[in-house]
Structure 1
Amino acid sequence: MPIPASVRALVRATPTIVRLQNRAIISISGSQAAEFLNGLLSTAVTTQPLRSFYSSFLHAQGRVICDVFVHAMRDDKSQPAYLIEYDATAPTDAPSLLPMLKRHVLRSKVRVRDASYEYDVWAAWGNDAITTNPRRWTRTQGGTIEPLWDSWPWGPDSGALIDRRADGMGLRRLVRKGDRPQETSTHDEGVLGDYLLHRIIHGVPEGVADIPPMQAFPMESNLDVMGALDFRKGCYVGQELTVRTYHTGVIRKRVLPVLIHPPPSHTSHPLRDGQPHLQFMPGLDIRASRTHAPAEGRVARPRGTGNLLSTVKEVGLALLRLEHVEGLERGDLKFELLGGEVDASGNGHDTQWLVTPWWPDWWPKGVEEEQSTSATNV
């Protein structure tokens, strides 16, 4: 399933930089900051050398609390310190990150505080000067996929973090509140919707809308593929179920980019006809239905549904059952979405839409199968 031609037309062709107003910052400092984070994050925290990276916080039952970028630095005593960048959108039924981290401090020599008023987060992409190291992939029998890095993937520069969640994502930079990063002199400044479109086209889920706190499982949210999970590090919160899934579980769902379009019977399409782009609420059910009657006998309707996540300009991310995606690739199934549409007079009504997923260009191909069933340290 290659990227649809109508979606390629939406891609910005010029280098772009966007300030991400929805991101918040938590400062973790103190002589035991590295040990403190290493016991909570799903990836290892190293101090020799001190490096930035992408990771996540998990609940004890293995569900995701939030995905984060960890920006490493030195404090005024040359000790390791960290700025945790996360989605500031308030979750509905999950603990907020700052109080949760403070509850884990106990007697650790760690200071945890909100630093959102000190820093701005910027994302930049489209610069060919950003070089990235190649990676290989390994896959377990259950479908977990890991990137194999030949060197540290997230960049050596303490001022910028190369976004290796997907090829082509660019970089992220923290700057002091009110300052402007160096890329603003060479990039067009976009808006938050440009960044949302950029990561949707690359198939990158992020934040509360795409990785619902206390609901999403890490591998279904592609955290394994994006390098946010370390299945070989020591104990951390949520490790037991995550490692068990890695060794004995089966990944049945994945987040994929999708195009939302009307059935062929419709005479118009917003992407083609210059009409205002439609808005779809996250959480809508995506149902799989058969494209033709079975050759003989009755066949049960495909079980389960998918869920729509973030959307912009009729493209979005969706959590889909892999068995349904395989059926669509064979031509046996189609995805349908019943979504609200607002007409020119402001009246709303439900409309049936088709949903077409695609595999991002960077998605792992030719991965090596890893034969592993033994348990690691839990």
Structure 2
Amino acid sequence: MAMTLGIPRVFLSRYRLTRLCGAYIQLRRQLCMKHTTKNIPPGLQQVLLYPRNTNHVLTRRFNSAVACSVHKLLSRGAFKVEGKDSSDFLQGLITSNMKWVEVPRSAMYAMMLNAQGRVMYDLLVYNISASSDRPCFLIECDRTATDSLIKDIKKYKLRKKIDIVNMTDSVCLSAVLPPDTPESLQELSVPDSDCLIFAQDPRVKDFGWRLITTADNSNMDSVSKLGVSSPEQDYHIRRYRWGISEGCIDLPPGNCFPLESNLVYLNGACFQKGCYIGQELTARTYHTGVTRKRLMPLIFEKLPENISPGTDIKTEDNKQAGKYRHSVGHYGLGLMRLAEIDKQLVIKNEDNQAFPVSTVRPRWWPDEAEDAQGLKLT
């Protein structure tokens, strides 16, 4: 094989191609930023500036005073599990691995399933331990389901040395979101003394951060400097645009499956940790099955009205393409058949009024995800 400077020509050509691709993408970003971003929507700016199929690192840091928005999440509740056996106790209940949050102030995503392998609750787990002798974990969940979740997990307590306390009224839960097209690249931080948790959202890289303070510290200067206070509805619109499910409205308890709800894509599953409730069916489906339906973002051409959760989404030839879950403004979520997502779609409300709708493949889905024909994830 011919060599150039000790490097085979076949590898040298790939190296040059990579350099050329990188230079082209960088030039396109500069041109977009200079000439076009004032006239195109933020979502399209993000596609132009950060194309999904590049290998560039998309880790982003933002100027907190200019770039970010802070959304208090009144729809979210929390409780803590504290005690010597707290980690082992949660390990047998949730889909993630508690070893992922061994470090204090870390966060992870998880689901709690029933014995039939269906989703009961979606959770964000935070390590708020003050010392290694007494581990303590804060569990964020849907506010309307907090009491029932606490009641359910207490059934499995048995003789475990743990305390379970509802913290919904004692903490302030917030989401900190960056803009779609950041103009500055400064690091974002909050002093540890001013908050319980300030961590990157563990579900999707670059979606934003989770901020948890005590109820008394929610208006401190260090927190207010993170960005402009914004309505919670704007957070849900952004979340639906990205195709991220959250809470009982998006994930009806006992009525949806974790893999169809993008549990793996959202970094919420560990298939090496051992047994947990609902593990057998989930693992078997993951290793041997094919996922032909997935939760995906919905984009409505006109503002939807009077559409009930579970309403059929159909193609123009009246073939079922999916099920509607929920929406805010022009954006929502639906459980879609992957083989039908490229067709013309419509959904009818309770008054039989038709609303054209479309869906897109979220850019944070991994490249090895199955295609529209439902090919198995590799």
AA in 2 matched with 1:163? D
Q: In the aligned structure 2, how far is the partner of 1:366 from the partner of 1:9?
A: 23
- Equivalent in the alignment of 2:9: none
Change (3 A) 1:192 1:371: closer
User: Shift in Å at residue 22 of structure 1?
Assistant: 1.0
Alignment of 1:1-378 (within 5 A): 8=43, 14-46=67-99, 48-50=102-104, 51-75=106-130, 78-90=133-145, 96-126=148-178, 159-180=197-218, 182-261=222-301, 278=305, 280-290=307-317, 302=319, 304-325=320-341, 328=342, 333-340=343-350, 349-366=351-368
Alignment RMSD (CA, Å):
3.0
AA in 2 matched with 1:27? K
AA in 2 matched with 1:205? S
User: Shift in Å at residue 56 of structure 1?
Assistant: 1.1
- Equivalent in the alignment of 2:62: none
Contact 1:123 1:171 in 2 (8 A): yes
- Equivalent in the alignment of 1:144: none
Change (3 A) 1:223 1:48: closer
| Structure number, greater radius of gyration | 2
Task: Kindly indicate whether structure 1 or structure 2 has the higher relative contact order, using CA contacts under 8 Å at least 6 residues apart.
Answer: 1
User: Shift in Å at residue 28 of structure 1?
Assistant: 0.2
Q: In the aligned structure 2, how far is the partner of 1:205 from the partner of 1:48?
A: 26
Structure with greater proportional helix content: 2
| TM-score normalized with structure 1 length | 0.72
| TM-score normalized with structure 2 length | 0.72
Q: Aligned residues: percent identity?
A: 29
Further displaced range: 228-237 or 363-372: 363-372
Further displaced range: 114-123 or 361-370: 361-370
Q: In the aligned structure 2, how far is the partner of 1:56 from the partner of 1:196?
A: 19
Q: In the aligned structure 2, how far is the partner of 1:44 from the partner of 1:241?
A: 18
Change (3 A) 1:111 1:364: same
Q: In the aligned structure 2, how far is the partner of 1:305 from the partner of 1:89?
A: 30
Contact 2:245 2:251 in 1 (8 A): yes
Contact 2:82 2:135 in 1 (8 A): yes
Contact 2:84 2:135 in 1 (8 A): yes
Q: In the aligned structure 1, how far is the partner of 2:364 from the partner of 2:186?
A: 16
Q: In the aligned structure 1, how far is the partner of 2:177 from the partner of 2:376?
A: 33
Q: In the aligned structure 2, how far is the partner of 1:358 from the partner of 1:58?
A: 28
AA in 1 matched with 2:159? R
Q: In the aligned structure 1, how far is the partner of 2:296 from the partner of 2:158?
A: 40
User: Shift in Å at residue 164 of structure 1?
Assistant: 3.5
> Where in structure 1 are there 5+ consecutive unaligned residues?
133-156, 262-268, 271-276, 291-300, 341-348, 373-378
AA in 2 matched with 1:203? G
Change (3 A) 1:183 1:371: closer
Q: In the aligned structure 1, how far is the partner of 2:377 from the partner of 2:197?
A: 39
Contact 1:101 1:112 in 2 (8 A): no
